[in-house]
Amino acid sequence: MSALLRRALNNVTGEWKLNLDNRVPPKELYAARIASSKPSLGFFVLLICSAEIATLGLISNSTAVVIGAMIVAPLMDPILSLAFGLSIADNRLVKRSAITVVIGVATVVFTSWLLAMVLGASEVNREMTARTAPNLIDLMIAVAAAIAGSFTITRDKLSNSIAGVAIAVALVPPLCVSGIGLSLGPELVAVFGRGTVAGLTNQVAEGSFLLFLANLIGITVASLVVFMVQRYGSIQKAWRHLLVWLGLLGLLCIPLSSALHDFSVRQQINSRFTNFKAGLIQESLYSGLNLNSLRRIRMLYSNVRVVNNRATIEVVLNVPTKLVGKIELTEFQREFRRDAIKDYGLDEVEINISVIPTQILRYDPAASTIP
């Protein structure tokens, strides 16, 4: 009876069965990690090229170019060697890998700083600012990517997935943003959409380097656990290293948790701008303005920054010339500020609304004359 059921099941499933890939032998993996812990000429060539590509992509605000730099970057290898050395308690491998990582970090930051100085970079765009406010979401991405990366190098058949891991966890782009930030000085100009915000305190270098640290610590801890679970190391040998890195992870979670709250508030405030024009029109109707004229108001862009529970909102409006000075912005600002503080528990909300007047000129061929 069991044979009949097994035969019937095989006919239905096409003899499907779970294929457990063989592990890479410990000696083979150890030799590969030793080779990856030693910086070579190829390592520095790829690292400098990836730093150059990422820096140019960041300055030109090109996402595709930045992604290309992630694929080229070889910085993931020595970090995985560091985690493997921790799992087997090989202090020599740990030290060698750590030095390679530090030298690689310094190389990327210096390359991006030098390139930004040569090109005269003076503005911060969205590709850069996206990497200056890390939170717990970024740490979770790093952990998931590390699990995939460390598991991949222990299975021969999964080696093709390492490029996807390199894209998922960005190591070089945050370091390049740090280098660019160092070249900008204490004051900078941030570009958002069609507008600019000047006079910002330069937190670009610090924020982006914190993102790199989140990736580094997340990758190391997760990979260390994966290696031990697969019996490449033992908890008896590596428990001290594991405790130290878990402590670093816990300390890192403190600022990242605060940043996650700020990120959540920023997303909620951004969603309220979908009704921005409706609220503006409702306030302005009391002034007896024409509804058709009010509908010509366009919000070119909005940007919300939340730092230490304080929100700064930048809005740029495109308003017909005849409505400039007539629309009620003061009352709207006051109500929006009061509601934001009440709903999101913010300490302070600053709203800056810039108005760009527009005038439509109609060309009349009949009125034109040819000299």
User: Would you call 132 helix, strand, or coil by DSSP?
Assistant: coil
CA-to-CA dists, residue 249 to 103, 242, 258, 279, 352, angstroms: 22, 10, 15, 44, 38
For residue range 93-149, what is the model confidence (pLDDT) as tens digits?
A: 999 999 999 999 999 999 999 999 998 877 778 788 888 888 888 899 889 888 888
The predicted structure's pLDDT at residue 300: 66
Percentage, residues of the chain above pLDDT 70:
73
Domain with CATH 3.30.300 in the chain: 271-358
For residue range 330-362, what is the model confidence (pLDDT) as tens digits?
A: 766 777 777 777 777 777 888 777 777 776 666
The chain-wide mean pLDDT, for the chain, equals: 78
Percentage, residues of the chain above pLDDT 90:
22
User: Contact at 8 Å (CB) between 283 and 332?
Assistant: yes
Average pLDDT (23-32) is: 86
Name 211's Cβ contacts closer than 8 Å, sequence gap at least 6: 131, 132, 134, 138, 170, 174
What span, in angstroms and rounded, lies between the C-alpha atoms of 70 and 63? 11
What is the fold, at CATH topology level, of the domain defined by 26-233?
Glycerol uptake facilitator protein (1.20.1080)
For residue range 298-313, what is the model confidence (pLDDT) as tens digits?
A: 766 667 777 777 777 7
**Verdict on whether the full-model pTM lies above 0.85:** no
- 271-358: CATH number: 3.30.300
The predicted structure's pLDDT at residue 364: 59
Tokens of 331: 């009352």
Average pLDDT (161-165) is: 57
Average pLDDT (71-82) is: 88
Domain with CATH 1.20.1080 in the chain: 26-233
For residue range 37-55, what is the model confidence (pLDDT) as tens digits?
A: 888 898 999 999 999 999 9
What span, in angstroms and rounded, lies between the C-alpha atoms of 106 and 111? 8
DSSP letter (8 states) at residue 322: G
Query: Residue ranges of the alpha helices (H) in the chain?
Result: 2-13, 26-37, 41-59, 63-72, 76-87, 91-119, 126-129, 136-152, 162-168, 172-184, 204-229, 235-272, 276-284, 291-294, 330-344
Average pLDDT (152-172) is: 68
